[in-house]
Amino acid sequence: MKGIKEEKGVPLLHQVFLCLIGIILGVLVGGIDTVFGRTLLFLSSLRSSNPFYWIPFLGFAGLLITFLYRRFGGVASKGMGLVFEVSQDHSEKIPLRLVPLVIVTTWMTHLFGGSAGREGVAVQIGATFGNLFGRYTHFAKYRKLILVMGMAAGFAGLFQTPIAAVLFALEVLVLEQLYLSALVPSLVAAFVAAITSHWLGLEKFSVPLTVQLTLNWKLLVQLVLLGLIFGLVGNLFAFSLSLTKKKFSEWLPNPYYRIVLGGIVLSFIFLVLWQGRYSGLGTNLIEASFGGKEVLSFDWFFKLVLTVLTLSLGFQGGEVTPLFAIGASLGVVLAPVVGLPSDLVSGIGYIAVFSSATNTLLAPIFIGGEVFGFGNVAYFFVAVAVAYSVNRRHSIYGLQVIGEK
């Protein structure tokens, strides 16, 4: 990283009040994350139980999604792009209507079989309320700091990985730079959000790995090789997403035609490919990867392509959980090739593809620790460091900027 960014002159008393704001943010955002996450899981289960009732109507659901955004979205239609614009002082306000809009349209995407994630929604929820608190409290000069607190709360409330959530919020907005003045208030917001969502019944995904390996030269080479492969796959995802969005908008400028025609084609593909195996979050592939169930050698590729197509057409949702699924299922394929335990390689893939696609280093390592156990951090660090370093021009977040030297 090029540097650590600290806002000078944040008095201790202000830090205390920011932490109090973090508690309120954590409870509020954690509660909304729970409603969003539990409903999403219910709708996903409903679709998986009756794929032929829902997936054929993906294109028509897309029409409604497009109508809602064009009729009510306004500047909120920019989604994560607006979060980056506000953080870079190119915009001042994230409208509150973004929250119900992104939640409802993401529910629709998943119910009708689109391949998408959920973290983007959680981060946008947190950022929206962080921006709101920053504008309407006596701490307006810390509005960017409070925005980061909200993002950390959103990520932590959904995934219940508060340490990783804080680091993600600190490093994702400006590459190669950390805003450490937001560290303690963001920790408070993230932990409160994670505790709130857990208390309200949102379950955390975790797979404790017990790996007994010696970090020698052979293992180091194996980890570097895995980091390289996963890094290239993460960059492939980010590059493909950017290129496909651009091409689709050129080929079909009308968003209604684009999403309905593309959705109809996608729904046919989803049904032909094992009746929705690649629809939704990809948690089925993650569970198969760590549960000893069948993982096909091309699962990761189909999940990558279909997620890129879903999001490029205009359906709503995030990218992170599909990235987890892509990495985990590819790990099952690579494990016998490199001669390492399947669970370990899938765990490395789970975080390393995410690292490469988002241009984040610390957050993925700590996701690995919080999900798979901190006893494996040495393995995660080596692989993620390589994945992070691979061709860092591309990111799923197109408005990321390089920090000051």
> How would DSSP label each residue in 307-362?
HHHHHHHT----SHHHHHHHHHHHHHHHHHHHTS-HHHHHHHHHHHHHHHHHT-SH
Task: Provide, rounded to the nearest whole percent, the portion of the chain with pLDDT above 70.
Answer: 96
Residue 404 pLDDT > 70: no
Task: Give the pLDDT confidence score for residue 401 in this predicted structure.
Answer: 65
Tokens at residue 73, please? 């979205």
Residue 405 pLDDT grade (very low, low, confident, very high; cuts 50, 70, 90): very low
pLDDT single digits (tens) 99-150? 999 999 999 999 999 999 999 999 999 999 999 999 887 777 889 999 999 9
- Helix boundaries (H) for 112-254: 119-135, 143-159, 162-172, 183-199, 217-251
Mean pLDDT of 23-29: 98
Task: Give the pLDDT confidence score for residue 178 in this predicted structure.
Answer: 76
Mean pLDDT of the chain: 93
Residue 176 pLDDT > 80: no
Mean pLDDT of 246-267: 97
Residue 246 pLDDT > 60: yes
| Residue 101 C-alpha from the chain's centroid | 18
Distance from C-alpha of 305 to C-alpha of 362, rounded to nearest angstrom: 27
Distance from C-alpha of 41 to C-alpha of 160, rounded to nearest angstrom: 16
Q: How many CB atoms lie within 10 A of CB 305?
A: 18
Tokens at residue 363, please? 């957050």
Residue 205 pLDDT > 80: yes
Mean pLDDT of 228-233: 98
Residue 236 pLDDT > 60: yes
pTM here is 0.95
CB 281 within 8 A of CB 310: no
Residue 398 pLDDT grade (very low, low, confident, very high; cuts 50, 70, 90): confident
Task: Provide, rounded to the nearest whole percent, the portion of the chain with pLDDT above 90.
Answer: 85
Residue 282 pLDDT > 70: yes
Burial letters 159-174, b for 16+ CB under 10 A, else e: bbbbbbbbbbbbbbbb
Mean pLDDT of 141-160: 95
Q: How many CB atoms lie within 10 A of CB 90?
A: 11
List of domains in the chain: 10-199 (1.10.3080.10), 217-402 (1.10.3080.10)
Mean pLDDT of 17-33: 97
Strand partners, 134: none
What kind and span of H or E run contains 174? strand 174-175
Mean pLDDT of 51-75: 97
Task: Give the pLDDT confidence score for residue 31 in this predicted structure.
Answer: 98
Residue 392 pLDDT > 70: no
Task: Give the pLDDT confidence score for residue 177 in this predicted structure.
Answer: 72
- How is residue 178 annotated by DSSP? E
Residue 8 pLDDT > 60: no
Residue 12 pLDDT grade (very low, low, confident, very high; cuts 50, 70, 90): confident
The residue to which tokens 């730079």 are assigned: 177
Name 248's Cβ contacts closer than 8 Å, sequence gap at least 6: 258, 262, 312, 313
**Residue 98: left (phi > 0), alpha (psi -120 to 50), or beta?**
alpha
The residue to which tokens 């983007």 are assigned: 120
Handedness of CA 75, 318, 111, 273 (dihedral sign): positive
pLDDT single digits (tens) 343-373? 999 999 999 999 999 999 999 999 999 999 9
Task: Give the pLDDT confidence score for residue 400 in this predicted structure.
Answer: 78
Residue 394 pLDDT grade (very low, low, confident, very high; cuts 50, 70, 90): confident
Distance from C-alpha of 127 to C-alpha of 149, rounded to nearest angstrom: 8
For the chain, counts of helices (H) and of strands (E) = 17, 4
Residue 6 pLDDT > 90: no
Closest CA to 46 of 113, 115, 103, 121: 113
Tokens at residue 369, please? 């620790």
Mean pLDDT of 377-400: 90
Mean pLDDT of 323-344: 97
Distance from C-alpha of 355 to C-alpha of 171, rounded to nearest angstrom: 11
- DSSP-derived 3-state class of residue 91: coil
